[in-house]
Amino acid sequence: TMSSEPVNVNEFKALAERALPKMYFEFYAGGAEDEHTLKANEEAYQRITIRPRVLVDVSRIDMSTRMLGYSISSPIMVAPSGLHKLANPEGELATARAAAASNTIMILSFGSSYSVEEVAASCNAVRFFQLYVYKQRHVAANLVERAERSGYKAIVLTVDCPRMGRREADIKNRMIVSKQKNVEGLVSTEVDAVSENDFSLFSYTTEVSHINGQDVAWLKSITKLPILLKGIITHEDARIAVEVGAAGVIVSNHGGRQLDYSPATINVVEEVVHAVKGKIPVIVDGGVRRGTDVFKALALGAQAVLVGRPILYGLAAKGEHGVKQVIQMLKEELELAMALAGCTSLKDITRSHVRTERDRCQ
Ligand code: FNR
């Protein structure tokens, strides 16, 4: 038989497609409407080239860094994504162990299939918790309190979801959200129910309110944890994030699952980096599939990247081991890219190491 051992992260997608029911695979893989932004996230990386410096001693490469003061082995972290049990019965417990074994930070999704407490008990590691703020504020307050008590080190407030994007594969497949463990007993079944005429996933999230600076102030009043804002893609919002006291921003378009035709994230990293003026870290996600992508993101000013779908594909294909492999592959590719481009540590990766389309026009 042909060897199916994957040699890169992209190959896990095909393995996941084989392993999963169509409905679940498409829930993970899909994006909003025309999926323009979904594709653009990956394609934009392919239009950035690397300017290697070769007269450099690269016998030792150090990829380690810190995030909000916590050491991680590389600038590659695990993005929050819901419902890992659809990929593997061990769900987020497996993902959490793989992230811990890789010495990196996992951001647990609000919509996880295991609870904040269950994931915290799965293994010892630094983790962040991703939050949606519902109109029913008591839900958010309850989750923040539980996350803090369970030892999560930061709150990642997702701000690009005032309503769910229109994911047509999920509509066609009549994908129904399975139980979200964290909100059990908190969200009334009336709100929780997916009505017969509305097959959209998480239809009750229309109950999510629009987030503004005051919401962040409220959140700060109920927790001591640092708050990262996820879903910032303009300099205007980046400035507001700094003003309201965010501890960091995540440049994200939700992996192309929310507003279609929003820009590829790698193309707006610099805009956000310039706006925050080094006051807080900038993280980027969306379309990171290669170590060279991580290198490009760092060259454009990001401090780290999050990886979303490849983690789910690794989990679907091979469980905990698959997630470890995905992270390991990206790390090895980043290390090789750094060596070949003449960078021995992350701080050596500078703007002059990449050339974007805009650079070529000037
Ligand atoms: C997500 N994402 C997401 N983000 C978030 O803040 N809360 C969530 O619950 C989820 N859920 C979720 C489910 C699935 C199936 C996917 C694919 C994504 C978005 C995620 O955190 C991240 O922004 C993107 O996945 C990054 O893009 P890539 O790496 O998937 O291209």
Nearest to 173 by CA among 193, 200, 207: 200
- Asked if 158 and 250 count as a contact pair (C-beta separation under 8 A), the reply is no
Catalytic residue chosen out of the listed positions 36, 235, 254, 274: 254
Nearest-atom index, ligand 1, CA of 285:
26
User: How far is it, in rounded angstroms, from Cα 140 to Cα 163?
Assistant: 16
Identify the three-state secondary structure at position 77.
strand
**Tens digit of pLDDT per residue, the chain (362 long)?**
455 799 999 999 999 999 999 999 999 999 999 999 999 999 999 999 999 999 999 999 999 999 999 999 999 999 999 999 999 999 999 999 999 999 999 999 999 999 999 999 999 999 999 999 877 788 899 999 999 999 999 999 999 988 889 999 999 999 876 667 888 777 654 444 433 333 333 444 444 455 677 789 999 999 999 999 999 999 999 999 999 999 999 999 999 999 999 999 999 999 999 999 999 999 999 999 999 999 999 999 999 999 999 999 999 999 999 999 999 999 999 999 999 999 999 999 999 999 999 998 87
Cα 265 to averaged position of ligand 1 atoms, centre (Å): 13
Nearest alpha carbon, ligand 1 atom 13? 81
Residue nearest to atom 11 of ligand 1 (CA): 81
Distance CA 33, CA 63 (A): 37
The protein residue whose alpha carbon is closest to atom 5 in ligand 1 is 80
Q: Tell me which residues have their CB closer than 6 angstroms to ligand 1.
A: 28, 41, 79-82, 109-111, 130, 158, 230, 252, 254-255, 257, 285-288, 307-309
CA distance 103 to 268: 28
How many alpha carbons lie under 13 Å from residue 258 in its C-beta half-sphere?
Answer: 21
Which string of DSSP letters, residue by residue, matches 27-44?
A: HHH--STT-HHHHHHHHH
353 is catalytic: no
Nearest of 132, 148, 146 to residue 215 by alpha carbon? 132
Q: Is 289 annotated as a binding residue?
A: yes
What pLDDT, on the 0 to 100 scale, is given for residue 137? Answer: 84
What pLDDT does 188 receive?
57
Which of 116, 231, 93 has its CA nearest to residue 180?
Answer: 116
Q: Which of 46, 92, 254, when mutated, tests ligand 1's pocket best, judged by the most ligand atoms within 8 Å of its CB? A: 254
Q: In angstroms, what is the C-alpha Rg of the chain?
A: 19
